[in-house]
Amino acid sequence: MPIHHVPARKDRRTTFAVGRLCAIGSLATIVAGLLAPGVAGAGETRSVLVTFDTTDHVRQALERVSAFRNGHGIGGRTVAIASSDRNFATLAATPGVLAVEPDLTYRAADLPNDPCISSPGACNGLTSTYVNQIDLDAAWSNSKGSGVTIAVLDGGVDPGNPDVASKLVAGEIDYVGDGPSTHGTSVAAIAGAATNNGVGIAGTGWNAGLRSYKVLDQSGAGLLSDVISALHAAADSGANVINMAFAGAASVALDEAVGYARNKGAVIVAAAGNDGATTPVYPAASPGVIAVGSTTTNDTIAPFSNTGSWVDLYAPGVSVPAPNSSGVIAPFTGTSASTPIVSGVVALMRARSPGLTNDQVADLLTSTAVEIGAGTLRVDAGRAVSTWSPYGGLANGLRIAGGNVDGDADQEVVTGAGAGGGPHVIVADRTGPILGSFYAYDPGFRGGVDVATGDLDGDGRDEIVTGAGPGGGPHVRGFNASGTPLAGFFAYDPGFTGGVNVAAGDVDGDGRDEIVTGAGAGGGPSVTVRRADGTLLASFFAYDPGFTGGVDVSTGDLDGDGRDEIVTGAGAGGGPHVRAFSMYGTPYAGFFAYDPGFAGGVRVGTVDLEGDGRDEILTGPGPGGGPHVTARGADGTMLRSFYAVAPGFTGGIDVGGFSGSLLVGTLKDVDTARIVPTN
């Protein structure tokens, strides 16, 4: 890709060194600060950034105010001018001015004195230990970052490095003009180097494209005005992720540019800096930016990393393999190494779930992270990428199931919107793309929809089974993957409005799956077994007939005889009682999945966790319990347990599974779905 050079400005020689950070105060304070001893002498010309309250005031100032005649917009509501102190009063008095600031110098956030950077020959045997540390393999199994672009605002990339240059989706924009730096090349490579090509390192973002904006010179210094211009350019280009691995002082103009990029849809990730201090640095501490600190290979905070409540997340940052400007793979240490790891993970997340907002990405990153100390979160790529929001943050939760509904070689994830949302069913590839969606009932229905999958006609392809949620009749329907209706019936009295839970499995051994239903809350614990056309084959009560909390249902071959058993979970009001039956209601097994005193109900599913031809029973607590998922043998023996989402969540968890994976989804408050490998 060609490099596009931005013409050098006459005032480039005038910069302001960054000292200890200070907050931007009133306009009078800013102007006084510009005149303070040690900053510039009286009458000296320097580069100044002026931020206005509206773009109209920017235009008016450039056209009508003499002090701005030599100025130029650098993006949004900020103007850069060469000014002497004689004009400060004019600047301050100009209508609409929010802030006047020096054009600060920002500096790269790596550790340039690391001996492995200057002497790469001393670092033989370098390995990408962070791949295992943050579970990148699991993340890559769910997303390759395709269709997402990471904008790297840094020191430029080496055009002779094919592992990096080949990933550029457009020519580099160069604001400096002194050639690429090791810092910029290393950062870009960690974020998005060509992967699975047998060359160099594996970029965290795998297939994600790169855009390079050179805002730092070879010494690692750059002007705030160039950073602001690059932020606007990157946002306007449609970049999904913006990576900034440098640090400096606070700036109103910088925050304006960050806000502009976020409003354009970019997730912004920035280095927390390497001072070993707690004082915020910018842009990491700017509103809406994901601030990244560094950890060691032992999951402790690196001694050089800045810390504090303003740091959102940590990632490995010690001896991370990366190419330098000579193409040699060498250790790269500092928060500049940690930041592109997180940016790459964000790219995988955005490819997996393109509907995620900036805030949802940040929330998922932190809610799925590993706590390595009190309040210290280390990114977990596997969990972050395998977790997504099918309905874009719907606060009503979802139901989840898995099956091969399109007849290909892989399994799909099927979700149904929870109560409060429309009866919206989504079919998604396990790696992220939505394959189809449809409304199972009238779009105006707001009771939610339960979902299951099963091969109802014996053709080797699963159909989708839906059950109407509370407020509608107990209407069960079958669909193909594209939403074409295939069958339907009322499982109970049409006047019953408690909803109906559904499952599908071959419970009679005839090679076709039957539909199993459980009555929703308000009805007795009635379970029915029917053919796809509604023909009743069997029915029984899973619990005491007087219990009216409803019953969840699933199916699975618990004993390996080729015929599925029916698994039930008591609804709200009863203990978390799980039972298994033959199709005719003969009890097979039973246990309490959680404390018997818990009355929030229990959701059930099945999956062959151990690959032995026998399904295990999955459980998730109903609303009111923590997000504790268990996998057990039919006799209740615990085989595995984990938290589906952050431990403090109490909205309830739905469970399901398919070959090689567990599926979990939040029942209320938020629509979070997650794929969890069985190994």
- Which residues are known catalytic residues? 154, 183, 336
d(CA 176, CA 486): 63
d(CA 552, CA 19): 62
d(CA 666, CA 604): 13
d(CA 224, CA 11): 13
Secondary structure string (H, E, C) spanning 177-189: CCCCCHHHHHHHH
What are the φ and ψ backbone dihedral angles of 671, each rounded to 5 degrees? -100, 75
Rg from Cα positions in the chain: 29
- Among 365, 403, 161, smallest CA distance to 267 is for 365
What are the φ and ψ backbone dihedral angles of 137, each rounded to 5 degrees? -55, -45
Residue 630 contacts residue 641 (beta carbons within 8 Å): yes
Q: How distant is the alpha carbon of residue 145 from its chain centre?
A: 12
User: H/E element holding 81?
Assistant: strand 78-83
Residue 570 contacts residue 601 (beta carbons within 8 Å): yes
Kindly report whether the peptide bond that precedes residue 623 is cis, defined as omega within 30 degrees of 0: no
Q: At what angle do helices 335-352 and 358-367 cross, to 10 degrees?
A: 110
* Cβ neighbours, 10 Å, residue 549: 22
Please, what is the end-to-end C-alpha distance for the chain in angstroms? Answer: 42
